[in-house]
Amino acid sequence: MADESVQSEASAQQEKEDGDNGSSQKTESRDGEKQTVSKRQRKRLLKQQKWEEETDLRKQKRKEKKQQRRQQRHDHHHQEEEEEGEAQNARKRLRREVTPSSLRLVVDCSFDNLMLKKDVRKLHRQVQRCYAENRRALHPVQFYLTSLGGQLKQSMDEKDKGWVNWKDITITTEHYSEVVAQEELVYLTSDSPNVLEELDHKKAYVIGGLVDHNHHKGITFERAKELGIDHAQLPLSNFVKMNSRKVLAVNHVFEIVLAYLEKSSWQEAFFTVLPQRKGAVAISQDGTAVQGKEEEDSDSDPDTPD
Active site residues: 212
Q: Are strands 24-28 and 34-38 parallel, antiparallel or unpaired?
A: antiparallel
Tell me the H-state helices in the chain: 2-21, 39-53, 55-97, 117-136, 150-159, 176-179, 219-227, 236-239, 250-263, 266-273
Q: Which residues pair with 106 in a beta bridge?
A: 144, 206
**How wide is the angle at C-alpha 23 spanned by C-alphas 20 and 26, nearest 5°?**
130
Q: Is 214 exposed, middle or buried (0-12, 13-18, 19+ CB in 10 A)?
A: exposed
Contact between residue 145 and residue 170 where contact means Cβ atoms under 8 Å apart: yes
List the one residue out of 163, 177, 212, 164 whose CA is nearest residue 106. 177
Quote the distance between the C-alpha of residue 166 and its chain's center: 18
End-to-end CA distance of the chain: 128
Instruction: Put the strands of the sheet holding 289-292 in their side by side order.
Output: 240-241, 281-283, 289-292
Contact between residue 255 and residue 241 where contact means Cβ atoms under 8 Å apart: no
Angle (deg, nearest 10), helices 117-136 and 250-263: 10
What does residue 121 show for φ and ψ, rounded to 5 degrees?
-65, -35
What percentage of the chain's residues is helix, strand, coil (to nearest 5)?
55, 15, 30
- Which of the 8 DSSP states describes residue 130? H
